Amino acid sequence: GIQVEQSPPDLILQEGANSTLRCNFSDSVNNLQWFHQNPWGQLINLFYIPSGTKQNGRLSATTVATERYSLLYISSSQTTDSGVYFCAVDSIQGAQKLVFGQGTRLTINP
Amino acid sequence: EAEVAQSPRYKITEKSQAVAFWCDPISGHATLYWYRQILGQGPELLVQFQDESVVDDSQLPKDRFSAERLKGVDSTLKIQPAELGDSAMYLCASSPGGTQYFGPGTRLLVL
């Protein structure tokens, strides 16, 4: 099946800093989503982005489908951005089921 | 904004007991998923429904787990008997096709 690798596994930054999270995947995809898992465990949708670039406030994401990677950018980080960020993909051969990476744990210190 | 509902939010049980989790998807979403997330890992699919039919249950431990979506709306996931290794977060998601939307999850602790 499709493999998803996220990097870095852990990232510690000061408030106000910018960050880039990376997701590599091993096969062509129909679906790619970025999630933020809050301290209570809920997965919050950030982006549905199988290709192209999207922006939502301080967050933006780019997926280069031909090179099989996606990037999540967080600008001017706030302490509330802390948590685990997951990338999840559904391969073209898949039946609309998401395969998750291991996540990037982001800690924003005041 | 419509959300996926799950209950209970937390469940503590003893091994060998039966437990059940409930999920109500966003209205109109034909596809429903149950995922399990072990601490420190990403969620993994247990079962996928399209309306009331199971599309994929290849990762569901069928000797102890069962799932149903009788009327193609809400769904129940059951574990009987529970084992220590079942301690995890159980997440339900629904989709109209494309984006999947997740509920708040049920955190299970088996003692």
What CATH number is attached to the domain comprising B51? 2.60.40.10
What is the residue range of B29's domain? Answer: 5-110
Share of chain A above pLDDT 90, in %: 84
Q: State pLDDT tens for residues A5-30.
A: 999 999 999 999 999 999 999 999 98
Question: In angstroms, what separates the C-alpha of B79 from chain A's closest C-alpha?
Answer: 21
B95 and A88 in contact by Cβ < 8 A? no
Whether residues B48 and A97 touch (CB distance < 8 A) is answered with: yes
B91, B100 contact by CB (below 8 A): no
SS3 category, A31: strand
Q: Does the pLDDT value for residue A95 go beyond 70?
A: no
pLDDT at A94: 62
List chain B residues with CB under 8 Å of A40. 104
pLDDT number for residue B66 = 97
User: With an 8 Å Cβ cutoff, are B33 and A97 in contact?
Assistant: yes
Contacts of B23 in chain A (CB under 8 A): none
CB–CB of A45 and B102 under 8 A?
A: yes
pLDDT in tens, A23-73: 999 999 989 999 999 888 889 999 999 999 999 999 999 999 999 999 999
What is the count of structural domains for chain B? 1
Domains and CATH numbers, chain A: 4-109 (2.60.40.10)
Question: What are the chain B neighbours of A86 within 8 Å (beta carbons)?
Answer: 42-43
> Whole-number mean pLDDT of chain A?
94
Query: Which parts of chain B sit beneath pLDDT 70?
Result: none
Task: Look up residue A42 and give its DSSP letter.
Answer: P
Q: How confident is the model at residue A97 (pLDDT cuts 50, 70, 90)?
A: confident
Q: Which residue of chain B is at minimal alpha-carbon distance from A47?
A: B99
